[in-house]
Amino acid sequence: MENQYTIQKLSQKTGLSVHTLRYYERIGLLEGVPRDEHGYRLYRESDLLWVEFLMRLRGTGMPISEMKRFSDLRSEGDSTITERREMLEAHQAHIYEQMRVLRDHLRSIDDKIDHYKGMEKEQNQAVPPKVPSGK
Amino acid sequence: MENQYTIQKLSQKTGLSVHTLRYYERIGLLEGVPRDEHGYRLYRESDLLWVEFLMRLRGTGMPISEMKRFSDLRSEGDSTITERREMLEAHQAHIYEQMRVLRDHLRSIDDKIDHYKGMEKEQNQAVPPKVPSGK
DNA sequence: CCTTGCTTTAGAGCGCGCTCAAAGCTGTAG
DNA sequence: CTACAGCTTTGAGCGCGCTCTAAAGCAAGG
């Protein structure tokens, strides 16, 4: 029941390309990925979970350099837990800020859409409909 | 009362660098920026408003190529209003999707923070406090 | 045995969005 | 008159995050 994944399978499962998975390992985001007798990567369940967590950091805009720092702390063991928590809390604040910006700009864009709708209406009225007023 | 801005002033007002303002003009995001007798740019209020709108599109993740498309449509006049509205509505959907992703990932990150807090608590208890039970 | 398709590595290449540099002109202060 | 700062253009450069290539090894099917 100990699931193992080839790089291909992990790529499918995560949506990252095999190139990106190897790249992440090369720069140290993934460490100690086990190999089979031919040197092929064999990812474990724990690797899948870690990659998924990395994707959440990336997907919320954390730069790779910061992910690397986090990853390095993780390799150092439990003594770095406080620092890791602080990193995540700082990142949390960034995410809140992103959401705020999105909300604000969304409002302006909504307004612009409404503005265009108004103009479209006017354009239609400019050529008055031929519908007879009575039956 | 017709405000005009040098590139420097517009840079301050918008937060974009003067390099970026010139770059935007070069690639066609800003068109017809007026010049003084020496060829210096003199932005009008309408240019400021347009730049601010561009920044909202960028700030919500629209690629430059798409902004260019939008900008070109705008130059073509009122006949492109429907297409512009449709572009904004498509972009609106992207923004909603971004917000959804942020919310989802934020939850996971919150969980991880809580998990770390739990571990930090355990670590503190591992060395039991010397506080006497009674006064 | 041979082809097809996977894997490995190291290193090069790329698209995006700026960002800077070079060379020259203008305007202002001392 | 001379600095110095800011403007112009064209074109090159850069940091990020992948993405791809080359050269070689391994494995399953016909």
Contact present, A47 and A53 (Cβ < 8 Å) = no
CATH of the domain at B104: 1.10.1660.10
Contact present, B62 and A102 (Cβ < 8 Å) = no
User: Using one digit for the tens of pLDDT, what is the confidence trace for A39-94?
Assistant: 999 999 999 999 999 999 999 999 999 999 999 999 999 999 999 999 999 999 99
Quick one: pLDDT band at residue B124, thresholds 50, 70, 90?
A: confident
Spanning CA of A8 to C1' of C7, the rounded length in angstroms is 10
Q: Which nucleotides of C are covered by protein (CB under 7 A)?
A: 6-10, 16-20, 25-27
**Percentage above 90 pLDDT, chain A:** 87
Per 3-state DSSP, chain B is made up of helix, strand and coil in percentages (nearest 5) of 70, 5, 25
The residue lying closest to nucleotide C19, measuring its CA against C1', is B19
Minimal Cβ distance to A99: which of B89, B99, B116: B99
The total number of structural domains that make up chain A: 1
CA–CA–CA angle A78, A79, A83 (5° rounding)? 100
Separation of alpha carbons B132 and B54, rounded Å = 65
Cα end-to-end distance, chain A, whole Å: 76
Strand partners, A21: none
Spanning CA of B21 to C1' of C20, the rounded length in angstroms is 14
Mapped onto helix, strand or coil, the DSSP state of residue A33 is coil
Mean per-residue pLDDT of chain A: 93
Q: Which of B39, B40, B43 minimizes the C-alpha distance to B54? A: B43
Q: Which of B54, B74, B85 to mutate to test the interface with A (most CBs of A within 10 A)?
A: B85
Is residue A129, in this structure, part of any structural domain at all? no
Spanning CA of B63 to C1' of C16, the rounded length in angstroms is 9
Separation of alpha carbons A103 and A96, rounded Å = 11
Is residue B134, in this structure, part of any structural domain at all? no
Is residue A67, in this structure, part of any structural domain at all? yes
The residue lying closest to nucleotide C27, measuring its CA against C1', is B38
Q: Which token pair is B64?
A: 């430059």
Strand partners, B35: B41
User: Using one digit for the tens of pLDDT, what is the confidence trace for B49-98?
Assistant: 999 999 999 999 999 999 999 999 999 999 999 999 999 999 999 999 99
Q: Which domain range does residue B37 map to?
A: 4-123
Virtual torsion, Cα B57, A54, A5, A26, nearest 10 deg = 100
The nt closest to A19 (CA vs C1′) is D19
Q: Which nucleotides of D are covered by protein (CB under 7 A)?
A: 6-10, 16-21, 25-27
Say if the Cβ atoms of B103 and A99 lie within 8 Å: yes
Is residue B128, in this structure, part of any structural domain at all? no
Q: Which of B14, B69, B9 minimizes the C-alpha distance to B41? A: B9
User: Using one digit for the tens of pLDDT, what is the confidence trace for B33-44?
Assistant: 999 999 999 999
Contact present, A92 and B113 (Cβ < 8 Å) = yes
- Do the strands B43-44 and A43-44 form a parallel or antiparallel pair, or are they unpaired? unpaired
Contact present, B10 and B48 (Cβ < 8 Å) = yes
Is residue B25, in this structure, part of any structural domain at all? yes
Is residue A82, in this structure, part of any structural domain at all? yes
Is residue B14, in this structure, part of any structural domain at all? yes
Is residue A133, in this structure, part of any structural domain at all? no
